[in-house]
């Protein structure tokens, strides 16, 4: 029962205005809807078409057209739809339904979290609230009245501006909200409960005053400062960078404990997973502070890229998500260290998105069919979508990009549009032909570039050959060549500097972009006076895998001389990967492991060089993750990878012990915590140094870790110390620290999540018993997505050696959880299953075990979510 892109048709009927009344009550919540409907002018068959509305798990209590109750033979209700056989050209439809928010464990539609009512409607949750054309190309103004118990639900929120409130009999009260901006129903939101607010304000560039409110449970009132500051920065940034101003008098954020994703951009009423909004120096790490800043900005930016201009259908999801992720990435880069932001994003992208693109659920940025759209809120749609927008920005240049963006927002304001509409604006603003570029949106899979270079001394030329190929993905055996911008420099081996480049008589400067459009292209750079090492794909200028036969000496050279900070980091990663390759082979062949001294010397150089960017240095000292190393292997050998990486880390720790100790002490500080770039940089550098020392259980390192654990005044330091103590092989270090921490923070679920994750990511073999035990812990619940991610997700996703235990116990545990979650929360079930779907990457024995678990899941009665993923994973 898939939905296909090529089947798109405008709806036969559209809603111009929506009036909703919610009567909240445990066990019997009533929703009255009055829809102002009319035939759609673009549908010739509209006059003959019945009215078809979406609706699921609704019990219909009344239905009338223009005030006339309908007879039973005038309409039909199925599991998913309400059909009214004959309707006039324009009319009012009144319906009343009963729903059960308290029984809603899927967390889609209207549900309860900690006793408070809240909603999640994107993508198709609104149909669980009332009968409606639940599709993004139906845009209406909304007026919403919420009636609740004055004691239990003193706060009643919805989209837009508050226009009326009042008391009602029986201890009830109501509030009416009006949202003047037409919107699709996926942006509808309602919150009701016992909440407290923190208030601030922002004056927009045209001088309008906007009230800003963050609503939380009382005990979290001290955790909103950072989100509020981030919101104000984001509002100012969007004005300065994109000329976009906020358009209501009120902007609200609500923190909710039970939430499937990070957050949701509902018009004027953003709803956040509490983990994505609450911070306090004592409870949240630097990474969490930065994540909150990014997500607050992301949701705010959606007000234009998503809400004012929205998607025609869900195949266009990346139109709003890719663009908005790109916007939030740039915002975070401007606010913090830009190179580190890029390094973090790319490091994550190359592991997680590349793996998705290489797996059974690979799909293009614009898929052409789906069974369950919630399965498509993916790294491909979001992050690869953002990379494609970034390529566009780089291709057309910022100025044309900004003009294209202005054009897009002006032309399509209040409309639901397509990816072509966006790219057309960029093509018009720049005059560039982007037709070949459009293939990025329709072809799945990660393009691979094989590069070869040769220096011709006699002619003073550098010859570069680039060959591209995109591997087959499910349903797409053959791929066409893409338009790939390759940013590069040629670094002179004598001068150590970027050389001036001339290509086909054209002066390119020292850092330039060349365009790969054919399957294979040959570039001849003339007047190259010295032999260069090419620095390719600078800044990760395209989301591709680039292979070049670098010698280790070349990489060591780029590591110190590349003018592009990103590629300096990448040279270090490549160098480490080459050394790791040798060690993985040694481990498999049972021969003695020998550490490559060139890596040690490169790291010694880094630790002793003058640096003004400690954050980048910390990144450079971080070895490629086990997941990224695995990505490079034809058949993943989890044990060899773990052994090799541990060996490299320990060898570096032994060889450079004094340097790591010095770096630790140089960067320790007693300054009051602030989540600002310099402090964050020093903390990450210090903690990287400590992780090396702890990898060999250095006595002095242990002492430092213990001191940092007990005296640390912020969660970044405390959590790092606790992780290192817990992951050491010594139970006498782990257990007392875990006990102390667990008791101290038992009242704070978001801190307990960290406590769970730290324990289940231990490399020790007993971790599965611990996991089973922790699943019974009072702070754990399968019904809460954050808990599931912290315990099960962290184990299956990050603890590679133990999840892939050769007896299959890790797989079995995950499958058990998926089967249970399939009933409770299909969306989370379909996500948590991911590691099992990657079975093709492993040896035969593990493949068989993983497939057996997938088969066991398939034998259950499955939600569409899990069904779609399992079918793909088991397809031949
Ligand atoms: Zn988004």
pLDDT single digits (tens) 327-377:
999 999 999 999 999 999 999 999 999 999 999 999 999 999 999 999 999
Q: Which position has the token pair 């408070």? A: 116
pLDDT given at position 823: 98
Mean pLDDT of 106-126: 98
| Rounded Cα gap, residues 69 and 123, in angstroms | 31
User: How remote is the CA of residue 28 from the centroid of ligand 1, in Å?
Assistant: 33
Nearest by Cα to 53 from 31, 28, 85, 101: 85
pLDDT given at position 27: 86
Q: Is residue 573 helix, strand or coil?
A: helix
Pairing label, strands 448-456, 545-547: parallel
Mean pLDDT of 375-396: 98
Share of the chain above pLDDT 90, in %: 99
User: How remote is the CA of residue 324 from the centroid of ligand 1, in Å?
Assistant: 6
| Rounded Cα gap, residues 767 and 782, in angstroms | 19
- Contact (Cβ atoms closer than 8 angstroms) between residue 615 and residue 337: yes
Q: Look at residue 407 and tell me whether its pLDDT is greater than 80.
A: yes
Mean pLDDT of 808-819: 98
> What mean pLDDT value characterizes the chain?
98
Query: pLDDT per residue over 761-780, tens digit each?
Result: 999 999 999 999 999 999 99
pLDDT given at position 876: 74
Length of the chain in terms of residues written: 876
pLDDT given at position 575: 98
User: How remote is the CA of residue 322 from the centroid of ligand 1, in Å?
Assistant: 8
pLDDT band at 87 (very low <50, low <70, confident <90, very high): very high
User: How remote is the CA of residue 299 from the centroid of ligand 1, in Å?
Assistant: 6
The DSSP secondary structure of 235-299, one letter per residue, reads: HHHHHHHH-----SSEEEEEEESS-SSSEE--TTEEEEEGGGT---TTT--HHHHHHHHHHHHHH
User: How remote is the CA of residue 387 from the centroid of ligand 1, in Å?
Assistant: 15
For the ranges 247-251, 500-504, 611-615, which has the lowest average pLDDT?
Answer: 611-615
100-133 b/e (C-beta count within 10 Å ≥ 16 → b): bbbebbbbbbbbbbeebbbbbbbbbbbbbbbbbb
Mean pLDDT of 651-655: 98
pLDDT given at position 611: 86
Query: pLDDT per residue over 284-311, tens digit each?
Result: 999 999 999 999 999 999 999 999 999 9
pLDDT band at 681 (very low <50, low <70, confident <90, very high): very high
Pairing label, strands 250-256, 209-216: parallel
Query: pLDDT per residue over 10-19, tens digit each?
Result: 999 999 999 9
User: How remote is the CA of residue 316 from the centroid of ligand 1, in Å?
Assistant: 13
pLDDT given at position 172: 98
Mean pLDDT of 102-128: 98
Q: Active-site residue numbers? A: 299
| Rounded Cα gap, residues 228 and 297, in angstroms | 10
User: How remote is the CA of residue 799 from the centroid of ligand 1, in Å?
Assistant: 28
pLDDT given at position 415: 98
pLDDT given at position 91: 98
- Contact (Cβ atoms closer than 8 angstroms) between residue 419 and residue 316: yes
Q: Look at residue 248 and tell me whether its pLDDT is greater than 90.
A: yes
User: How remote is the CA of residue 80 from the centroid of ligand 1, in Å?
Assistant: 27
| Rounded Cα gap, residues 525 and 532, in angstroms | 11
User: How remote is the CA of residue 136 from the centroid of ligand 1, in Å?
Assistant: 15
User: How remote is the CA of residue 373 from the centroid of ligand 1, in Å?
Assistant: 14
User: How remote is the CA of residue 794 from the centroid of ligand 1, in Å?
Assistant: 23
Query: pLDDT per residue over 582-636, tens digit each?
Result: 999 999 999 999 999 999 999 999 999 998 899 999 999 999 999 999 999 999 9
Nearest by Cα to 867 from 835, 819, 803: 819
pLDDT given at position 25: 96
Mean pLDDT of 556-585: 97
Paired residues of 507 in beta bridges: 502
0.95 surpassed by complex ipTM: yes
Q: Which helix (H) or strand (E) holds 15?
A: strand 13-23
């Amino acid at each position: 029962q898939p939905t296909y892109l090529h089947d798109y048709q405008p709806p036969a009927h559209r809603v111009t205005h929506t009036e909703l009344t919610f009567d909240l009550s445990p066990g019997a919540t009533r929703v009255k809807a009055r829809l102002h409907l009319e035939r759609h002018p673009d549908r010739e068959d509209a006059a003959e078409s019945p009215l078809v509305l979406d609706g699921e798990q609704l019990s219909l209590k009344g239905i009338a057209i223009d005030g006339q109750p309908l007879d039973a033979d005038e309409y039909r209700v199925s599991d998913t739809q309400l059909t009214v056989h004959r309707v006039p050209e324009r009319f009012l439809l009144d319906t009343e339904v009963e729903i059960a928010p308290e029984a809603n464990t899927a967390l889609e539609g209207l549900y309860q979290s900690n006793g408070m009512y809240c909603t999640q409607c994107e993508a198709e949750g609104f149909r669980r609230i009332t009968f409606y054309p639940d599709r993004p190309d139906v845009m209406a103004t909304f007026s919403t009245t919420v009636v609740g118990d004055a004691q239990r639900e003193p706060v009643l929120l919805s989209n837009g501006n508050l226009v009326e409130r009042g008391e009602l009999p029986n201890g009830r009260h109501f509030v009416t909200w009006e949202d003047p901006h037409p919107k699709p129903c996926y942006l509808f939101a309602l919150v009701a409960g016992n909440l407290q607010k923190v208030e601030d304000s922002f004056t927009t560039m045209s001088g309008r005053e906007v009230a800003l409110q963050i609503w939380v449970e009382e005990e979290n009132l001290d955790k909103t400062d950072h989100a509020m500051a981030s919101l104000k920065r984001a509002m100012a940034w969007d004005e300065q960078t994109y000329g976009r101003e906020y358009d209501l008098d009120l902007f609200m954020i609500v923190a909710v404990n039970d939430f499937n994703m990070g957050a949701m951009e509902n018009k004027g009423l953003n709803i956040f997973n509490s983990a994505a909004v609450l911070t306090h120096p004592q409870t949240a790490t630097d990474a969490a502070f930065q994540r909150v800043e990014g997500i607050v900005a992301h949701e705010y930016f959606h007000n234009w890229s998503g809400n004012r201009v929205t998607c025609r259908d869900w195949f266009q999801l990346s139109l709003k998500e890719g663009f908005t992720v790109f916007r939030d990435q740039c915002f975070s880069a401007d606010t913090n260290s830009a190179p580190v932001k890029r390094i973090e994003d790319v490091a994550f992208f190359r592991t997680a998105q590349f793996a998705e693109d290489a797996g059974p659920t690979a799909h293009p940025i614009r898929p052409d069919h789906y069974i369950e759209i919630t399965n498509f809120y993916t790294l491909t749609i979001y992050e690869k979508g953002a990379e494609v927008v970034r390529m566009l920005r780089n291709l057309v240049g910022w100025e044309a990009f900004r003009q294209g963006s202005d054009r897009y927002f002006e032309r399509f304001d209040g409309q639901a549009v397509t990816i072509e509409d966006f790219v057309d604006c960029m093509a018009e603003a720049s005059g560039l032909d982007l037709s070949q570029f459009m293939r990025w949106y329709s072809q799945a899979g990660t393009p691979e570039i094989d590069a070869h270079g040769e220096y011709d001394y006699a002619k003073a030329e550098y010859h570069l050959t680039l060959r591209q190929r995109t591997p087959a993905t499910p349903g797409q055996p053959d791929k066409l060549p893409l338009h790939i911008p390759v940013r590069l420099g040629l670094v002179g081996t004598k001068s150590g500097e970027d050389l001036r480049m001339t290509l086909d008589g054209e002066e390119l400067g020292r850092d330039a972009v060349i365009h790969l459009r054919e399957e294979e292209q040959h570039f001849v750079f003339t007047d190259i006076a010295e032999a260069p090492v090419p620095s390719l794909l600078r800044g990760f200028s395209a989301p591709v895998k680039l292979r070049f036969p670098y010698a280790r000496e070349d990489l060591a050279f780029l590591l110190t001389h590349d003018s592009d900070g990103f590629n300096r980091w990448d040279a270090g990663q490549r160098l480490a990967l080459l050394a790791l390759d040798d060690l993985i082979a040694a481990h498999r062949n049972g021969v003695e492991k020998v550490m490559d001294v060139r890596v040690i010397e490169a790291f010694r150089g880094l630790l002793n060089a003058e640096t003004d960017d400690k954050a980048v240095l910390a990144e450079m000292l971080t070895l490629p993750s086990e997941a990224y190393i695995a990505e490079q292997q034809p058949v993943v050998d989890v044990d060899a990878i773990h052994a090799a990486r541990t060996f490299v880390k320990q060898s570096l720790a032994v060889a450079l012990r004094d340097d790591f100790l010095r770096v630790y002490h140089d960067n320790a500080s007693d300054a009051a915590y602030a989540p600002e770039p310099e402090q964050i940089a020093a903390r990450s550098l210090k903690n990287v140094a400590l992780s090396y020392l702890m990898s060999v259980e250095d006595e002095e390192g242990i002492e430092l870790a213990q001191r940092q654990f007990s005296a640390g005044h912020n969660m970044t330091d405390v959590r790092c110390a606790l992780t290192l103590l817990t992951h050491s092989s010594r139970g006498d270090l782990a257990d007392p620290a875990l006990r102390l921490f667990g008791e101290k923070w038992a009242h704070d679920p978001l801190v307990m999540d960290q406590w769970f994750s730290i324990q289940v990511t231990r490399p020790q073999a007993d971790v599965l018993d611990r996991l089973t035990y922790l699943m019974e812990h009072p702070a754990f619940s399968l019904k809460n997505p954050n808990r599931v991610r912290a315990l099960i997700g962290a184990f299956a996703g990050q603890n590679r050696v133990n999840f892939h235990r050769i007896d299959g116990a890790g797989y079995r545990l995950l499958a058990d959880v998926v089967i249970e979650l399939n009933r409770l929360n299909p969306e989370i079930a379909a996500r948590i299953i991911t590691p099992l779907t990657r079975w093709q990457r492993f040896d035969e024995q593990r493949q068989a075990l993983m497939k057996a678990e997938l088969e066991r899941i398939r034998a259950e009665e499955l939600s569409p979510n899990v069904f779609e993923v399992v079918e793909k994973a088991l397809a031949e």
